[in-house]
Amino acid sequence: MTTADLVRLEAVTHQRGPTAVLSEVSLALPPARLAVLAGRSGSGKSTLLHLVAGIMAPTRGEVTVADKAATTVHDWGQVALLPQRPALTPELTVAENAHLPARLRGRDPDPELLTRLGLDALAARPAHDTSLGEQQRTALARTLVLNPAVALLDEPTAHQDDEHVALVLSALTAAVAAGTLVLVATHDQRIIDLADDLLPLRSGRLLEQPAP
C-alpha cells in the first residue's frame, strides 16, 4: 500500500453472527480507477461496499478512506453509495432527486448529467411515475452529481436494456476520467470487461489479492 491509496482494507473480517461474510480481505485502491468486485450472490460484495461507505464497521481489521476511518467519513461529496434499490424520494421529480446532494450543499449540478444517462426527457416527472430502470439511473445520477472521490455502486446496470447499459458504462468511464475511484459490485460481464482492477470474491475471500 502507498500514500497514494484512496481506499484501504487491511485484514478485514466482517461477521454476521457466527458467519464470516468477509475474511481477511486486504486491498488498496488509488483514485481514478474502475475497480470491480465480482462473484456470486452471497460472496460479500455488497458488504464490502457498505464497509467502505462507513455504514458498517468491520469485526476485525481496518477500513480507511483518504487515511480516515471509513465510519467517520460522512461527506457525500467524498464518498457516495448507490444501493441495489434506488431509494429515491417518490414525490420529488427525477431532476430533484438527481440534484438533491448538490442543492443541499449550495452547488450547481452538472446540467449534462441527466442527458448522459438518458433522463433529460423525464426530468420533470415524479420519481414514482418512472420505471425501475429509470429510477436506478436517477439514483446513479444522484450518486455522481458531486463528482465524489469514491463512488460505490451496487449493480448499477440492473434493470437496464442494452441501450441504457451503454449510457451507464459511459457515465462510469467519465467519472473515472474525472478522477473518481469507482468501486462496483456486479455480475455484469460488460462492466467486468472495463475493469482496471478485478477483485474476485468467493465466500468472503479475495481470490487474488491486488498488489500493494
pLDDT tens, the chain, 212 aa long = 455 899 999 999 999 999 999 999 999 999 999 999 999 999 999 999 999 999 999 999 999 999 999 999 877 779 999 999 999 999 999 999 999 999 999 999 888 999 999 999 999 999 999 999 999 999 999 999 999 999 999 999 999 999 999 999 999 999 999 999 999 999 999 999 999 999 999 999 998 644 44
Number of residues written out for the chain: 212
Residue 1, pLDDT score: 43
pLDDT of residue 94: 98
Residue 210: the pLDDT is: 47
59: which 3 cell numbers? Answer: 469485526
Q: Does residue 16 come out as left (phi exceeding 0), alpha (psi in the -120 to 50 range) or beta?
A: beta
Domains of the chain: 7-206 (3.40.50.300)
Q: Residue 145, Cα to own-chain centre: how many angstroms?
A: 13
SS3 16: strand
Are 197 and 47 contacting, i.e. CB atoms less than 8 angstroms apart? Answer: no
* Count of other CB atoms within 10 angstroms of residue 118: 18
Q: Is 156 helix (H, G, I), strand (E, B) or coil?
A: coil
Q: What is the pLDDT of residue 92?
A: 98
Half-sphere exposure of 96 (CA within 13 A, CB side): 11
What pLDDT, on the 0 to 100 scale, is given for residue 208?
A: 67
* pLDDT number for residue 212: 43
State the DSSP code for 209: P
